[in-house]
A and B are shown apart, each in its own frame.
Chain A
């Protein structure tokens, strides 16, 4: 319970304590702070590059036990750190599962229903271009040379 011992009561009934950013990521601190915004005004300030000051000011009423409040914040912080750690460790697996799920959801085109399996289909449906008239083979290009 080391950091909680740094807790003290500030003016406006606020509770302040300092967190070491070499232990807790800034992102985790902000996520933990977000859990307290319902009941408190949360103010975060960098004290130096390695520490951040958290100030919790109750929106109404008073804080009866500042150490308990700071302890709750630290517990929430640990939860956020753990959550981020698990997310990071399972990122590859989650992406693989999502990829497989998306791949499995691909529409399976039935070639027979589209008529693509008929080898004579294209021959039967030769385009009749009215501009050039190449389907009629007017120049005799497709004619057998030996006929």
Chain B
């Protein structure tokens, strides 16, 4: 459900688990949910600072699930 007040959230992605191309695909899929303001890199981690009108915990969980989905489907031929 959409909230009236947008929330700021930071999504951290471990590049040891997810390749960067998977993250790119997920960000494209979430462009209607997240407004990315800044992307930072810290070692293995990529931090995505974003604003969303949706519930933060739901966005975080769906983002994580979609990362798994994007990873598995990117290797469907293996």
Contacts and interface: CB of A to CB of B under 8 A. Distances in A.
14 contacts: A27-B75, A27-B78, A30-B71, A30-B72, A33-B68, A37-B68, A37-B69, A41-B65, A42-B64, A43-B61, A43-B64, A45-B14, A49-B16, A57-B61
A44 B60 contact: no
Nearest to B75: A27
A45 B13 CA distance: 9
Interface of B: 14, 16-17, 44, 57, 60-62, 64-65, 68-69, 71-72, 75, 78
B65 A87 contact: no
Contacts of B75: 27
A31 B74 CA distance: 11
Q: State the main secondary structure of chain B at its contact with A.
A: helix
Nearest to B16: A46
Nearest to A49: B16
A76 to B, nearest CB: 13
Given A31-B72, A33-B68, 19 more contacts: A27-B75, A27-B78, A30-B17, A34-B68, A37-B65, A41-B60, A41-B61, A41-B62, A41-B64, A42-B64, A44-B14, A44-B17, A44-B68, A45-B14, A46-B14, A46-B16, A46-B17, A46-B44, A59-B61
A57 B72 CA distance: 20
Q: Which 10 A-B pairs have the closest CB atoms?
A: A41-B61, A37-B65, A34-B72, A43-B64, A46-B16, A33-B68, A34-B68, A30-B71, A46-B14, A44-B17
Interface residues of A, number: 20
Contact of B69 (A12, A34, A57): A34
Contacts of A27: 75, 78
Contacts of A26: 17
Interface string A40-59: 01111110010010000101
Interface in A50-87: 52, 57, 59, 84, 87
Contacts of B69: 34, 37
